[in-house]
Amino acid sequence: MRVKPWMKQFAALSLLTAASVAAVGCETSSQGVTVDPTSLELKDTHVESIPENQVPAGVMKSFRSLAPSAKITRIERRHYLGGDPFYQFHYALEPGAEQVIDINPMPTHQ
């Protein structure tokens, strides 16, 4: 039995859709597969918790300009495969009201 070309494309698209659904479910894991929101490609990601002294000065300055009196509860450096890291700040303006903000470092080369 011969398989028609459109059937191969449909099967590949079905597998990609299933992988995307599985990846969205893994998005909150510290390491695994995520879906890049701009290109919708599957990407590996790596997340590590870091102390304030390991955050670049420009990133910390950007955060403090947005939330000058916030108490930082956790900082995560996130890497997508093949991409630059970005920093996710978990902070609270008042006790029990944690918020999250992502800050990308400014490129140093142009």
Domain shared by 70 and 109, yes or no: yes
Domain shared by 11 and 58, yes or no: no
Two tokens, residue 1: 């039995």
Q: C-alpha angle 12/32/16, rounded to 5°?
A: 10
Tell which residue, 59, 83, 81, has the closest CA to residue 72: 59
Domain shared by 33 and 78, yes or no: no
Domain shared by 85 and 109, yes or no: yes
Structurally, the chain folds into a number of domains equal to 2
How do beta strands 98-103 and 86-92 pair?
Answer: antiparallel
Structural domain for 76, as ranges: 50-110
pLDDT tens string for the chain (110 positions)? 565 665 555 555 554 455 554 444 444 444 566 676 777 776 667 888 999 999 999 999 999 999 888 999 999 998 877 678 889 999 998 877 888 888 887 655 54
Domain shared by 37 and 3, yes or no: yes
Q: Determine contact, residues 91/71, Cβ cutoff 8 Å.
A: yes
Domain shared by 66 and 94, yes or no: yes
Domain shared by 39 and 58, yes or no: no
Residue corresponding to tokens 């420009």: 58
